[in-house]
Structure 1
Amino acid sequence: MIHRYATFIKAVNLTTDYIILNISMVLSYFIVDKSNFFWINNKNYLPIVLVFNLIWLLAANITGLYEHVLNKDSIKTYRGVIKTYFIFVSFICFTIIILIGTKPYFITREYLFYSLALFGFLLGLWKLIFLGIRKSDRTSLIDNRNVVIVGGGRIGYDLYHFFDQNKERGYNLIGFFDDHSEKVKDKHLYLGNTDECISYVIANKVDEIFCTLPNSKADKIEKLMLDADKNLIRFKFIPEYYDYAKKPTYIQSFGHIPVISVRPEPLENILNRAIKRLFDCVFSIFVILFIFSWLFPILAIIIKIQSPGPVFFVQLRSGRDNNPFKCYKFRSMRVNSDSDKKQASRNDSRITKIGAFMRKTSLDELPQFFNVLMGNMSVVGPRPHMISHTEQYSQLIDKFMVRHFLKPGITGWAQIKGLRGETKDTESMLKRVEADVWYLENWSFLLDLKIIFLTFWGTIKGDENAF
């Protein structure tokens, strides 16, 4: 969306919310605390301030509160605020009351109630004021521009339909220029041949030219571009290649040479990979030491009692760059000869009673945290498939192999979207692949935290596709 002040307004929203949050905490401190100890000198209080601020940032990123602040109507805006607030309160209660405890910081439950209630009230009031201001000034914030399109072919009409369907972008299409008038289906939009474009644009105060001519017209394109520069008119070129990529793309510059990637890959950045790997190691060590260590002997005994065979199920699966690796799980089925070919299905007779419980709660995946430590897997990523499934679906789904650009994960975007369990047809697998590719293109550390939280929440709530 092209708004003059979109980034500025997003920053104002975020900053104001943080000011309100911290004012609420300070006011609550004075209401509850009966001592004369000034809040800024209270070393026990300041860590709680940090926790509150970080958790609000996490909650806002999970809900996308600050995205499209000029777009969302009042109902969606308040729905997002309420959703973010309740996630924030849940995280605060879980972190402070359950994990940290109130005594170490001398923070009482009374203080938590006052600060959260006051923050909720002031936040709601501020959003009401913001929506009122936005309603009166939203039109002035949009950067309206008159534009023309050079080239009346299919690419030009695709662009025309985009402008028509996204009026909030602020582009007002005047018409088309093309040397072949029959290419422009809407005759009232035909303005003349390409040689007349610059003079028309100057005379009618057009702001931008969008050129959709093919590469074979390079001489004409170059002349239009130079003339536009001379007359202070913005010139934008839509390359023919766009026909092959029906989605947003990523452009880099190698010197003066533009290089267009089919998709953005945030994890190609070495810093992002280092952050993800560090988190994987820390999180896996925490799970292994504090959950796996005491749960393993209990589950191992029950698995052994209910059916003969090993405690662990080890299977070759497809990893990053399609390199096979040994994936570890708690064995949830009776030993059978079909485990490398046949997926688990609902009411599968091979699944033991403890196996059904482990699969429902995803406890059978716990040994994969050792895979994460070994570097075969990540905490979050596309789920690893059996080798036979990789071979099968790579022939049926064009983008199936793209998911193997990443390390497979214990949980992933597809799983929290309900795309888990048995894949009965190609359509089911296609949806899973699309979700995995979306994750590849949109990775962020906060997205990983969101997926982990929603996985944990889904385990508590229950998932009908987990069997």
Structure 2
Amino acid sequence: MIHRYTTFIKAINLTIDYIILNLSMVIAYLIEDKSYISWISNKNYLPIVLVFNLIWLLSANITGLYEHVLNKDSIRTYRGLIKTYFLFVSFICFTIIILIGTKAYFITREYLFYSLALFGFLLGFWKLIFLSIRRSDRALLLDSRSAIIIGAGRIGNDLANFFNTNPSRGYRVVGFFDDNPAKLRNEELYLGNTNDSISYAISNRVDEIFCTLPSTEAQKIERLMLEADKNLIRFKFIPDYYDYGIKPTLIQSFGHIPVISIRPEPLENILNRAIKRFFDIGFSLFIILFVFSWLFPILAIIIKMQSKGPVFFVQARSGRDNKSFNCYKFRSMKVNNDSDKKQATKDDDRVTKIGKFMRKTSLDELPQFFNVLIGNMSVVGPRPHMLKHTEEYSALIDRFMVRHFLKPGITGWAQVRGLRGETKTTEDMMARVEADVWYLENWSFLLDMKIIFLTFWNAVRGEENAY
């Protein structure tokens, strides 16, 4: 079935895209080169090859180009491709023309034009070919399998409905086996009782069996599993705690005992935590030394001129494992008694003129890089809330406290998706919590890079909800 080959097809797409990129660069080199030095032995050319390749990888990760590679919708495919291509061109022009300089590696503007134009044309043509293959559902991408479901309860019926509404999964449900036929919603799909399931699968060459019987039928499940193994039929079991809405995503073995976690947590891996912490230290030091050091005296003078009070605003916030810590910010409001209870609202008269600018551009968060350096915050993570709000929302939202498995961040997935600023309703906070939990379950270093880039981009253009 199609989803079995998702990783393989992603790899094929990525490989061919890179072949096209490098082929475009070689052809452009041959057109433009006047030194008659072979491109493979030109030391000035090879660093540019590395830059092009790394920037394409960064651009594709930011836009998620390869996340929906099996999508048949040509409009969505080309929209993602065009977005990635223009981001790639922007990065290339900025990196080579502004940062590196064209003279350093004898790279001409004509070379950039030829290579980028040729890459765009060939990439679009290749995606057209790939979409044609995808739309045809040819055998090389489709491996349809017949399946029977043992157990006609809610789980079994839900599973059958999922396969029927998601044909791309490649399963064709033949029917159900259950000792109580009355459970079945569609009587035509009833094939017999559970004892007949294996013999039916053998005689009809069924590829897979899905068992949705409750755990109270453990002996029957074990017998069916052993019989399926003896006859080379794949047997898959759906646990009955599905009824509680838990989605198992990670299974560990403690000896012979399987332990199922209800969510993956990439940052529970010590190597991932070390990578994130190393980046936090390096990035915060860079910001403190090269941005905060000269911006601080300017902002400090303006803050003091516009309102009485300290330059910094220090507030207790909820951190990792719900431990409180002092969070630092540039003071953007007049000194008031509601700062620990009331969120900033639109046209809030407590916010100073410089405060509005700092909030709009997120400059008020700069002192939090000291929190990152200390270790009670990260560059990227769920935003820390006031202690009062943590207490309130933890009673209203079931998964609210899950976000505290991570260190809070200066920016986060919720913020770059527009879920920042005042939370007027519980639904607003629920959307923010869902985004934070998604980040916890899907963390990667490249995701952090994407969030940092989007934060910078949003700060440049300004955000509607930042006030």
The TM-score normalised by the length of structure 2 is 0.97
Q: Give the distance between the partners of 2:130 and 2:164, measured in 1 at CA.
A: 28
Cα deviation per residue 1:129-176 (whole Å; 9 max; x = unaligned)?
A: 222333345355222111111111111111111111111111111111
Match of 2:37, SS? coil
1:39 shift after superposition: 2.1
Whether contact under 8 Å (1:381, 1:410) holds in the other structure is yes
1:28 aligns to what?
A: 28
| SS of residue matched to 1:206 | coil
Q: In the alignment, which residue of structure 2 is the partner of 1:362?
A: 362
In the other structure, the counterpart of 2:253 is: 253
- Partner deviation per Cα, 1:364-417 (whole Å, 9 max, x = no partner): 001111111111111110000011111111111111100000000011010011
Contact kept? 2:248, 2:260, Cα under 8 Å: no
Matched with 1:10 is: 10
**SS in structure 1 at match of 2:336:** coil
Letter paired with 1:51: V
Structure 2 residue 266 is the aligned partner of structure 1 residue 266: yes
- In structure 2, distance between residues paired with 1:6 and 1:426: 37
Q: Secondary structure at the match of 2:149?
A: strand
The corresponding residue for 1:405 is: 405
> Offset of 1:10 from its aligned partner?
2.0
Give the distance between the partners of 2:348 and 2:255, measured in 1 at CA: 58
Per-residue deviation at 1:440? 0.3
- 1:29 Cα offset (Å): 1.6
Q: Give yes or no for contact 1:149–1:212 (8 Å, CA) kept in 2.
A: yes
Q: Corresponding residue for 1:70?
A: 70
Query: Does 2:421 align with 1:443?
Result: no
How do 1:50-449 and structure 2 match up within 5 A?
50-247=50-247, 249-449=249-449
Q: Call closer, same or farther: CA 1:137–1:432 in 2, change over 3 Å.
A: closer
What's the secondary structure of 2:332's corresponding residue?
A: coil
Deviation at 1:33, TM superposition (A): 2.3
Question: How big is the shift at 1:106?
Answer: 2.4
Report how far residue 279 of structure 1 moved.
Answer: 1.2
Contact kept, 8 Å, 2:331 with 2:364, in 1: the verdict is yes
User: Residues of 2 paired with 1:299 and 1:333: CA distance?
Assistant: 13
1:3–1:143 Cα contact (<8 Å) kept: no
Worse overlay, 62-71 or 147-156: 62-71
Is 2:464 the partner of 1:464?
Answer: yes
- Say whether the 8 Å CA contact 1:3–1:141 is kept in structure 2: no
1:58 and 1:218 map into 2 onto residues whose CA distance is 49
Cα distance, 1:212–1:367 mapped onto 2, change above 3 Å: same
How far the C-alpha of 1:102 sits from its partner, in A, is: 2.2
Q: Give the Å deviation of 1:70.
A: 2.8
Residues 275-303 of structure 1: CA deviation (Å, up to 9, x unaligned): 11111111111111221111111111100
Match of 2:316, SS state, is: strand
**Residues 3 and 334 (structure 1 numbering): CA distance in 2 closer, same or farther, change over 3 Å?**
closer
- Post-superposition Cα deviations, 1:290-328, rounded to whole Å, max 9, x if no partner, equal 211111111111001101111111111011111111111
The aligned amino acid for 1:211 is: C
**2-side partners of 1:238 and 1:9: how far apart?**
28
Task: Tell me which amino acid in the other structure corresponds to 1:463.
Answer: E
* 1: CA distance, partners of 2:40 / 2:98: 25
Quote how far apart the aligned CAs of 1:248 are. 5.2
Greater displacement, 60-69 / 325-334: 60-69
1:238-265 deviations in whole A, cap 9, x for unaligned?
A: 1112222344522222232211101000
Which AA in structure 2 matches 1:115?
S
Contact 2:71-2:77 within 8 A present in 1 as well: no
The aligned length equals: 467
Q: Which moved more, 1:374-383 or 1:88-97?
A: 88-97
The CA RMSD over aligned residues, in Å, is: 1.4
Contact kept, 8 Å, 2:382 with 2:411, in 1: the verdict is yes
Cα deviation per residue 1:412-437 (whole Å; 9 max; x = unaligned)?
01001111001112111111101100
Secondary structure of the residue aligned to 1:326 is strand
Alignment partners' CA distance in 1, 2:138 and 2:279: 41
1:88/1:19 Cα in 2 relative to 1: closer, same or farther (>3 Å)? same
Distance 1:336 1:376 in 2: 26
Structure 2 segments unaligned to the other structure (5+ residues): none
Change (3 A) 1:3 1:331: closer
Contact 2:2 2:141 in 1 (8 A): no
Q: By how many angstroms is 1:338 displaced? A: 0.9
Equivalent residue letter for 1:448: D
Is the CA contact (8 Å cut-off) linking 2:74 and 2:131 kept in structure 1?
yes
More off after superposition, 398-407 vs 105-114:
105-114
User: Is residue 6–residue 70 contact of structure 1 (8 Å, CA) maintained in 2?
Assistant: yes
Instruction: Read off the aligned partner of 1:408 and give its amino acid letter.
Output: P
Q: Distance in 2 between matches of 1:397 and 1:113?
A: 53
Distance 1:85 1:437 in 2: 30
- Paired with 1:39 and 1:140, the residues of 2 have a C-alpha distance of 37
CA contact 2:149–2:176 (8 Å) conserved in 1: yes
SS of equivalent to 1:138:
coil
**Residue type at the aligned position of 2:318:** S
C-alpha distance in 1 between matches for 2:5 and 2:244: 33
1:175 partner letter: G
Contact 1:4 1:141 in 2 (8 A): no
1:246 to 1:2, Cα distance in 2 relative to 1, 3 A: farther
2 CA distance for matches of 1:311 and 1:6? 53
Structure 2 SS opposite 1:340:
coil
| Cα distance between partner residues in 1 of 2:127 and 2:430 | 40
In 1: Cα distance, 2:66 partner to 2:54 partner: 15
What stretches of structure 1 of length at least 5 have no aligned partner? Answer: none
Contact 2:72 2:134 in 1 (8 A): no
CA distance in 2, matches of 1:362, 1:224: 60
Q: What is the CA-CA distance between 1:205 and the residue it aligns to?
A: 1.1
**TM-score of the two chains, using structure 1 as the length reference:** 0.97
Kept in 2, the 8 Å contact 1:384–1:409? The answer is yes
